[in-house]
Amino acid sequence: MTEASDKPRIEFYWDLGSTNTYFALKLLPPIAERYEAEIAWHPFNLGHVFKSNQYELMKEPRDKLNNRLDDLKRWATKYNLPFKRPANFPIKTARALRGALAMRDKGLELAFIEAIFTEYWELDNGEIGEYAELRKVAERLGVDPDEFEALSESERIRQQLIDATDNARERGVFGAPSMILDGELYWGKDRMDFIEDQLRALTS
């Protein structure tokens, strides 16, 4: 096994508006834990990346979109997850993404990420992209909501999200979730077997 200082590191690129990220958020941590791997969470503006690539999800063929929903329901059943497609979809996610960066300053990044994904993809909270709802999440996590919103709107945090999105594009990220491990990019919730194979190779 590798030494603790040489733990494998999985770079996880996510956006709240990604259905597949919801599932990857549930499936990846247990795998990482088995191999003592670290996960670095990277919020990025998926809508901006889509726009730069001239891609519009909701303009895909209707039959494909319907099948995508059927497939997501199969995944939810397979892994016994309370997933539901929110009535308000898609939503603007920039405030939530900046909120995660703000909560990183408080050591609460992952707790915040898990909370907002639960709100949107399990509880059908279609307003979770707005500060009225994000402030409630911050308060539940013990952070003053006024301080949270001010930090999320600060120029420093705004620039961090811009830089994170630019970094994602520079590394070839085109969708969410994207995971980079040992220089290899894996896209989607259905790449966990490949990630586990690579972790096994790195830690054997």
The CATH number assigned to the domain holding 143 equals: 3.40.30.10
Give per-residue pLDDT as tens, 151-182: 999 999 999 999 999 999 999 999 999 999 99
The total of structural domains in the chain comes to 1
Residue among 94, 96, 93, 111 nearest 148 (CA): 96
- 124, 87 contact by CB (below 8 A): yes
Q: Where are the alpha helices (DSSP H) in the chain?
A: 19-34, 46-52, 62-78, 94-104, 109-121, 131-140, 145-152, 155-170, 192-203
Amino acid at 114: E
Q: What is the pLDDT of residue 68?
A: 80
Across residues 59-77, what is the average pLDDT? 81
CA quadruple 103, 15, 93, 70: dihedral, nearest 10: -130
- 122, 83 contact by CB (below 8 A): yes
| pLDDT bucket at 3, cuts 50 / 70 / 90 | very low
- 13, 165 contact by CB (below 8 A): no
What's the first-to-final CA gap in the chain, in angstroms?
5
Domain that includes residue 172, residue range: 4-203
pTM of the model: 0.90
Tell me the pLDDT of the chain averaged across its residues.
92
